Amino acid sequence: MKKRLMAATSVAASALLLGLFSATPASAATLRGQCSTTGAWGGITVNNFNGATDRIDFSMTISDTSADGHHARIRLKTKNHVGTVKNWSWHANYGGEGHDERVVTYAHDDSGIFSVGIQVARFEGSTLLNSCTEWTTAS
């Protein structure tokens, strides 16, 4: 009985050690988000998001959805480890109704990037007329 208990303990310890040394890191997620407001639609894709990081590579698309003489804009929004929101610069689409603009770029923040979102808006000159905000989810 004592030998069987020792053998079982040895097997369990070996399995535990094997699990510790062969554990795989958490896989990276693809984040996606989109929203629409009167006259504008936008979306974002962030590939290989590993959670808390200081840099993300992403693409955004902004579409003008209305022949109203206004233009559409999109911007990145991020949250750091304490939830402080950072609003990044706007990217505009002046192409008119049915025109899409795609932005492929990156963001770096020494405070960390824990959440990613977008704000999509319709503008008249530099005046924001209406907007929507959406935070991404993993897919």
Token pair for 18: 């094997």
Q: What are the domain boundaries of the chain?
A: 29-138
Sheet with strand 115-124: strands edge to edge: 85-93, 71-79, 115-124, 127-135
Average pLDDT, the chain: 85
Q: State yes or no: pLDDT of 1 exceeds 70.
A: no
Task: Examine the pLDDT at 32 and tell me if it is beyond 80.
Answer: yes
pLDDT of residue 26: 58
Residue range 79-102, pLDDT digits in tens: 999 999 999 999 999 999 999 999
The answer to whether the beta carbons of residues 108 and 54 sit under 8 Å apart is yes
Strand partners, 86: 78
What is the reported pLDDT for 5?
Answer: 40
pTM for the structure as a whole: 0.80
Beta strands in 25-99 (DSSP E): 29-37, 40-49, 53-64, 71-79, 85-93
Q: What architecture does CATH give domain 29-138?
A: Sandwich (2.60)
Is 80 exceeded by the pLDDT of residue 19?
A: no
